Amino acid sequence: MNKTAFLLIFAIGLGFATPVFAQDNLSPERKQAIDSLAMEKVRDLSKYISIIGSKDTPWSEANRVIDRAEELFMTGSEIGVSSLVREEINYYGVRDYFERLMRLNYNKVEISWYNIEYVSDLQRQPDGTYVGVITIFQKFKGYDKEGRLIYQDTTKKDITVYVKRKETQIGGRLIGFWDVLLGDIRVKETSK
């Protein structure tokens, strides 16, 4: 988890800190704050994808960013990808997905994001962890050596977000904070 994200989560955690840590129901304000926190993670992910995919990013830097991107996810998360021509879903581990993105065989790659983010309601799973899904849209363009556009697509990315109340001890006091991690992602090509 990067330092800024941790500080943000922690700051919001402090903001919400209450003597009792059981948080069965989220107030609309708290939900909104958690949504913002989750969106922050998704924006980090979008930024990392753009850096990893860019042919201008040196190999060592891309690898470093992959490490950072991996930290956004729960262990064992998968990315399921399908396209218009191949509806079968291919499953990739998070690291594998990023490494494939880094190795794409184009001379130049442009990755841009639509200014559309859809955040679902948070639902609780049996262990009390909140689960939501954030949907974003990405435009991808791949060019050859002559600068010709040889591939482009728009993909819908449905990203699982897990939100869990955690506690940490500071100066002998238990302080609660919200931990946000990304989970499985479904990547679906949208109709052309």
Partner 1 sequence: MTHLQRTLYSIIFLFISVSVFPQTGSFNSFGEDETILYTMNKQVGQFVRRFNMEEDSYGKRLATDDKKYHNNKLREEMLPILFDTYNPRTSGKLKQYFIDDVTDKSNPVFLNFLDKNWYAEVSATFTADGAEVNIILFLTLQEENLGSKWVISNVYYSYFPHLFPHTEDSVHQLYFLHPQSHELDFMNLHRALDDPAHIELYASNYYRPDYLTLFFYQMKMGQLKFKEINSVKFHFFQVKNWYFELSYFNRNDTNSGWLISNLKFVNDEEKKELIKSFKLCAIDK
- Binding of partner 1 by 10 (CB under 8 A): no
Q: How far apart are the first and last CA of the chain?
A: 36
Total chain residues near partner 1 (CB under 8 A): 32
For the chain, what is the radius of gyration of the CA atoms? 18
Q: Which of 61, 112, 114, 151 binds partner 1 (CB under 8 A)?
A: 114
- Binding of partner 1 by 149 (CB under 8 A): no
Residue with tokens 């840590």: 21
Q: Which of 57, 63, 154, 155 binds partner 1 (CB under 8 A)?
A: 154
Q: ∠ CA(93), CA(96), CA(102), 5° rounding?
A: 145
Select the span of 6-14, 43-51, 54-62, 85-93 touching partner 1 (CB under 8 A). Answer: 85-93
- Binding of partner 1 by 163 (CB under 8 A): no
Q: Rounded to an integer, what distance in angstroms lies between the CA atom of residue 100 and that of residue 49?
A: 11
Taking the complex as a whole, the smallest distance from the CB of residue 31 to partner 1 amounts, in Å, to 8
Q: Which of 18, 127, 148, 169 binds partner 1 (CB under 8 A)?
A: 127
Select the span of 2-10, 44-52, 100-108, 184-192 touching partner 1 (CB under 8 A). Answer: 184-192
DSSP secondary structure, 80-134, as one string:
EEE-SS--SPEEEEHHHHHHHHHT---SEEEEEEEEEEEEPPPEE-TTS-EEEEE
- Binding of partner 1 by 137 (CB under 8 A): yes
**In contact, 118 and 134? CB cutoff 8 Å:** yes
**In contact, 158 and 132? CB cutoff 8 Å:** no
- Binding of partner 1 by 105 (CB under 8 A): no
Cβ distance to partner 1 smaller for residue 137 or 143: 137
Structure-token pair, residue 45: 């992910």
What residue ranges bind partner 1 (CB under 8 A)? 24, 28, 31, 84, 87-89, 114-121, 123-129, 133, 135, 137, 154, 156, 158, 188, 190-192
